[in-house]
Each structure stands twice: as structure tokens, then as C-alpha cells.
Structure 1
Amino acid sequence: MTTMKEIAEQTGVSISTVSLVLNGRDEGRVNPALAKLVRNKATELGYKINPLARSLRTNKTRILGFISEEVATTPYAGGIILGAQDAASAYGYMLFTVSTDGKASEENEIATLKRYGVDGFFYSKMSNRIAHVPESLSDYPVVMVDATDYENKVPSVEPDEFMIGYDATIRLLQADCKRIAYVGCAENMIAQDGRLAGYCTALQEAGRAFNPSLVCNVMNDGPALRAVNKLFDDEHPDGFFCFNDARAWYVYECAARRGLTVGKDISVVGVDNHRVFAETLEPQLTTVELPHYEMGYWSACKLISMIEGKDVDTSSCPSARASLPPLDAPIPAKIHCALLEKDSVIS
């Protein structure tokens, strides 16, 4: 096992200098070229920091706690958690993840993570909602993921819901659709309000009058299919922006019943890039991909910057398909989502 003493001997510096560099405390204290030499030599020799020794020395465990309600049991959890884990690993942190199902469960899990000595917390909700951070986390650095603090005081990150609706509608306008419908969500939520506003703005900028008859807000159930069926018969849309990929399925179903071909007779854009729908709908659905990985990565970088009191580089996010906002972005930080071109929009 390589030691700091061996690195010091091979680079011709003191052990204290090696310690400063490898513990990230060299800025303003060690010549940058010398610090780079030490890091390169440590990598070459396979040096590994002893996390227990460092935690005793710094009173930091370099453990982050991820608290989620529903998120960890959904198809989207992998992306959020993987993004947070990748960023945490890049900066020498570990991630502990727990899922809760109510206030009592949440407080128990928070208490458990505190006993492990975590340095900071992620607090995540499902479906981008406004939430209160528990009082029990008030003494810790906290970043909210896919959720927003009631008072906009706690750093948070979410998809840019307005731009989702705007970009999807612009794509349908580019396909020369004349009657663009919005198949939205009947539930009152941030995503619904933002996506509808983006849809309306895109139409307005194109000189199209908003027609409420072309808006069909539904849930995921039998009545939803009947409502979309009625939309087809009453309004005859040639373009459909759908709140999510699941609702796009209703459009595909209604089109098939009428002998219409998606991508030839009508155009459809969804949201989510949900794996099940992305792989089963034919033709494949053009969709706006929600930035689950990017939200996880950004939130970890933000949390680490709060813990360490210094800037953290977000430019090296390895699997991002959407640009990350700056860490000092206004609360909530918004990520402009990527529109994935497939085959459901008339070319």
C-alpha cells in the first residue's frame, strides 16, 4: 500500500505538502505545478486515501444521505441516483440512499443517516412538487432534487417545465401542424402549469390563437382514452403535444382506430423518454427527455460545494444530454431538457 511518505520521497517534497495536496487543501498554499506533480505521482503509484483516517482528522465522513419519497421505487430513480453517485465518487464521497413512505418513516431514516455521520443531505420528491424540508435537517447542508422549497430558500434543481412545453410545440409548428392539441394532466402540479404555459407561448409567438378546445387534461385511466377519442372527433388535431409518453399512447391508440398513421398523418411529441413506451410504440415516439441523471449530478456538485465551501466543477458531467446550470443559479435551478428526434413527427 502506497504511503504519503513514498510519494514525498519520489517527488522531492515534504510529507506535509503531500498531505495538503491529497486532502484538497493546497489551494493558495502549494505551487499549482507542484500540486499537479504530487497528484500525478499518487495516481501512478495507486495511492488510496484512508477514509476512516481522514474522517477522524477532518471530522468529515464524506458520506452524503439521499432521502426520497417514492423516487427510489420508480423507473426514474436509477438516473437521479446514478448522477448523484457519479458526482459524489468523482469528489471522493459515498452515497447512502433511503426511501420513505410517510413522516414517521422519514424521521426514522433521517435519524439513522445522522448516526452514520453524513455531511449533507439530498431531499427528493416525485414529480417536481413544492415541499417542506424537515426541521430535523435544518442544521445540515441540504439540496432538493426534483422539488422546490416553499420559500425558495433551499437550493433545488428541477426540469425547465416551461421550455419542455415550448420546445415540443415549436417542433410541431416546424412540422407545419395547423391544429396542435395538448393532452395534459388533470392533476394540479408544477409540471402541468409549466408545460401548458410553454405550449401557449409557442403558439402565441407563431401567431396562433390559443384554443381551449384543443386542450384535453386527463389522468391515466379509461376515461382518459375516451376523452382523447372525443378530442379526435370534435377538433381533428394534426399535431399532439402530450404531457408524458404514457398519454401519448392514447393518441396512438385513437389514431389506429381511425386508420391514421403516426408520423405520416399526424405528429406526436411526448415527454419522459420512458423506456417502456420508447421501446414499444411504433413508430418510435419523439420525446423530451427529463434530466434525471443531470439533476442528480448537479445536486451532488451543489451539495459538495456547500459542504466544502468552495466551487465544484460541473463541466465534466460524463453522461449528460442536457447542459447543467451554474451552481449559483437562482432557486430553483432549471435544466433545459433535450428533445430526442425519433419517428412520430411528420418530416
Structure 2
Amino acid sequence: MTTMKEIAEQTGVSVSTVSLVLNHRDEGRVKAEIAARVRDTAQQLGYQSNPLARSLRTGKTRILGFISEEVATTPYAGGIILGAQDAASQLGYMLLTVNTDGASNESDEIATLKRYGVDGFMYAKMSNRYVDVPDELKDYPLVLVDATDRDGRYPSVEPDEFRIAYDATRRLIDAGCARIAYVGCSEPLIAQNGRMDGYRRALEDAGFAYDETLVANVLNNGPALRAVSDLFDRARPDGVFCFNDARAWYVYECAARRGLTIGRDVSVVGVDNHRVLAETLSPQLTTVELPHYEMGYWAALKLVSLIEPGRDLSGFAAPDTTAVMPPIDAPVPAKIHCTLIEKESVRGDAPDDTLV
């Protein structure tokens, strides 16, 4: 096993200098060219730090706690965890993840993570909502993921809900749709409010008047299908923006029952890029991809910046992602502009042999 002493001998500097560099405490203390030489030598020699020894020396375990409700057990949203894990690993941290199912269970899981000596927490929710931060987390470095606290006290990252709806509605307008409906969510979520605002603004900017008869806010199953069916009968939309890909299924079903063709008679845009839905529906669903991986990655970077306020992350090489991540010092909440994934459900996009 390579030691700091061996690295010092190879680079011609003291062991203390090597320690400063490898423990990310060299800024302002070690010349940049010397620090770079030490890091290169450490990498060439295969140096690996001893986490236990370092934690005893610094009082830091370099462990991040990730607390989720549903995220860990939800397909595709698990990308949040993958993004956080990738960033944590590159920064020299380990990620411990727990999934909770209620207030009492949540307290137990937080206590467990604290016993492991985590240096800070990420607290994640589904469907972007306001949260009350548990008291047990308030004295730790904390970043919220796909959630915002009501006071804006803690850094957080979320999809740009307004731009999701604006871009999706604009796509339908550009396709020539004149009666664009919104199949939204009847729950009081940040996502619903932002997407409703973006839908209305896109219509207004294009010279269309907002028409509440073109809106159906639903939950799921039979009542949702009946509400969308009523929307078709009363408003006869030629374009539909859906709160998520799951709600787009109701639009496909109602169109089929009326002999209408998706991608020709009715254009549809969803949100999620949920592969089971977006790629299984025929024609395939044009949709806005949520930045799960990006949110997790950004949250881990932000959390480490809180734990190590002197550590320079400005030059950290971000991975190639579908959406561009905001800067670490972005205003709260940090918003990610999501990407619209073109498929076949918007007028002019679907090949004739894919139409239903």
C-alpha cells in the first residue's frame, strides 16, 4: 500500500505538504504546480486514503446520508440516487441511503445514519413538493432534492416546472395546434402550480386566450379517465400537454375510443420520459425528461461544498447529462431546465406506419 511518505519522497516535498494536498487543504498553502505534482504522483502510485484514520484525525467520516420517501423504490427516479452516488464517489465520499415510509420510521432512519457519523444529509421527495424539514436534520449540512422548505432556508434543487410546461405547450403551438388542453394533477404540488403557470404563459405569449374548459386536473384510474373523456367531449382539443406520461395514457385511450389518431388528429406531450410508458405507447410519446440524475449529482456537490466550505469545486468536471446542471451557487431553489425528447406523438413527427 502506497504511503504519504513514499509520495513525498517521489515528489521531493515534505509529508505534511502531501497531507495538505491529499486532504484538500492545500489552497493558499501549497503552490498549485506542487499540488498538481503531488496528486499526479499519488494517482500513478495507486494511493488510497485510510477512511478510518482520516475520520479520527479530522472528525469527518466522509459519509453522506441520503433520505428518501419513495425515491429509492420508484423506477427511474432512482436516478437521483445514482447521480448522488457518482458525485459523492468522485469527491471521495461514501453515500448511505435509507428509504422511509412515515414520520416515525423517518426518525428512526435518521438516527441510524447519525450513528454512522454522516457529515451531512440529502433529503429527497417525489413530485417536487413543499416539505417540513425534520428537526433532527436542522443542525446538519442539508440539501433538499425535488423538494423545497417553506421558508427557503435550505439549499434545494428541482426541475424548472414552469419551463417544462412552457416548452411542452410551445411545441404543440409550433405543431399548429389551436385548442391545447392541459391534463394536470389535482394534488397541491409545486410541480402542478409551476406547470399550470407555464402552460398559461405559453398560450398567452402565442396570442391564445386561456380557457379553463380545456383543463382537467385529475388523479388516476377510473375518475381520471372519465374526466379526460369529458374533456374530449366538451372541448375537442387538438393538442394535449399532460402533467406526466401516466396521464397521457388517458388521452391515448380517449382518442382511440373516438377514432382519433394520436400524432395526426391529436398531438400529445407528456412529462417524465418514463420508458415503460413513453416507449410502449404507440405512437411513442414525445415527453419532457425529468433530471433525476442531474438533481442527485448537483445535490451531492452542493452538500460537499457546505461540509467543506474552503474546497474549490468550480473546476470539477461535470458528467455529460441530458440537462445542463445549474452552478453550485445558484439561487434557492436551484432549477434545472429539462429537455424535451422528440418522439412520435406530435403532429408531423409520426411516420404513417406508427399511427394508431
Common fold by TM > 0.5: yes
In structure 2, the partner of 1:127 is 127
- 1:84 aligned onto 2:95: no
How far apart in 2 are the matches of 1:227 and 1:110? 41
In structure 2, the partner of 1:253 is 253
**8 Å contact from structure 2 (residues 71, 78) kept in 1:** no
Does the residue aligned with 2:220 lie in a helix, a strand or coil?
coil
How far residue 316 of structure 1 moved from its aligned partner, in angstroms, is: 2.7
Deviates more, 1:315-324 or 1:293-302: 315-324
Deviates more, 1:180-189 or 1:194-203: 180-189
**8 Å contact from structure 1 (residues 270, 288) kept in 2:** yes
How far apart in 2 are the matches of 1:281 and 1:312? 42
Deviations 1:1-60 (A, max 9, x none): 111111111112111111111111111111111111111111111111111111111110
How far apart in 2 are the matches of 1:84 and 1:317? 12
In structure 1, the partner of 2:323 is 322
In structure 1, the partner of 2:313 is 312
In structure 2, the partner of 1:2 is 2
How far apart in 2 are the matches of 1:223 and 1:40? 62
**8 Å contact from structure 2 (residues 323, 337) kept in 1:** yes
Does the residue aligned with 1:209 lie in a helix, a strand or coil?
coil
**8 Å contact from structure 1 (residues 302, 312) kept in 2:** no
Deviates more, 1:54-63 or 1:323-332: 323-332
How far apart in 2 are the matches of 1:227 and 1:125? 28
How far residue 163 of structure 1 moved from its aligned partner, in angstroms, is: 0.8
- 1:229 aligned onto 2:229: yes
How far apart in 1 are the matches of 2:172 and 2:346? 7
How far apart in 2 are the matches of 1:120 and 1:305? 11
Deviates more, 1:224-233 or 1:77-86: 224-233
**8 Å contact from structure 2 (residues 289, 340) kept in 1:** yes
Amino acid at match of 2:335: K
Does the residue aligned with 1:112 lie in a helix, a strand or coil?
helix
How far residue 334 of structure 1 moved from its aligned partner, in angstroms, is: 1.1
Deviations 1:196-234 (A, max 9, x none): 110000000001001111111111111211221222222
Does the residue aligned with 2:279 lie in a helix, a strand or coil?
helix
In structure 2, the partner of 1:336 is 337
Amino acid at match of 1:87: A
**8 Å contact from structure 1 (residues 255, 262) kept in 2:** yes
In structure 2, the partner of 1:207 is 207
How far apart in 2 are the matches of 1:173 and 1:288? 16
How far apart in 2 are the matches of 1:160 and 1:98? 26
How far residue 259 of structure 1 moved from its aligned partner, in angstroms, is: 2.2
How far apart in 2 are the matches of 1:77 and 1:237? 31
Deviations 1:314-346 (A, max 9, x none): 863324211111222221111111111111111
**8 Å contact from structure 2 (residues 146, 156) kept in 1:** yes
Structure 1 unmatched ranges of 5 or more: none
Aligned-CA RMSD value: 1.3
State the TM-score, normalized to the length of structure 1: 0.97
Deviates more, 1:287-296 or 1:230-239: 230-239
Relative to 1, partners in 2 of residues 1:315 and 1:272: Cα closer, same or farther, differing over 3 Å? farther
How far apart in 1 are the matches of 2:130 and 2:315? 25
State the TM-score, normalized to the length of structure 2: 0.95
In structure 2, the partner of 1:106 is 106
Relative to 1, partners in 2 of residues 1:297 and 1:313: Cα closer, same or farther, differing over 3 Å? farther
> Taking every aligned residue pair, what percent have the same amino acid on both sides?
71
Amino acid at match of 1:318: P
Deviations 1:167-221 (A, max 9, x none): 1000001101111111111222111111011000000000100111111111111
How far apart in 1 are the matches of 2:224 and 2:87? 40
- 1:302 aligned onto 2:329: no
Relative to 1, partners in 2 of residues 1:314 and 1:253: Cα closer, same or farther, differing over 3 Å? farther
In structure 2, the partner of 1:32 is 32
Relative to 1, partners in 2 of residues 1:169 and 1:315: Cα closer, same or farther, differing over 3 Å? farther
Relative to 1, partners in 2 of residues 1:346 and 1:257: Cα closer, same or farther, differing over 3 Å? same
Relative to 1, partners in 2 of residues 1:151 and 1:21: Cα closer, same or farther, differing over 3 Å? same
How far residue 283 of structure 1 moved from its aligned partner, in angstroms, is: 1.1
Deviations 1:223-257 (A, max 9, x none): 21122122222211111100100010111111122
How far residue 258 of structure 1 moved from its aligned partner, in angstroms, is: 2.2
Does the residue aligned with 1:280 lie in a helix, a strand or coil?
coil
Deviates more, 1:267-276 or 1:227-236: 227-236
**8 Å contact from structure 1 (residues 62, 119) kept in 2:** yes
- 1:241 aligned onto 2:275: no
Total equivalences in the alignment: 347
Deviates more, 1:309-318 or 1:325-334: 309-318
How far apart in 2 are the matches of 1:54 and 1:296? 26
| Within-5 A mapping of 1:144-155 | 144-155=144-155
How far apart in 2 are the matches of 1:229 and 1:104? 41
Amino acid at match of 1:36: A
Q: Segments of 4+ in structure 1 off by > 6 A?
A: none
How far residue 162 of structure 1 moved from its aligned partner, in angstroms, is: 0.8
How far apart in 2 are the matches of 1:314 and 1:203? 40
In structure 2, the partner of 1:272 is 272
Amino acid at match of 1:174: D
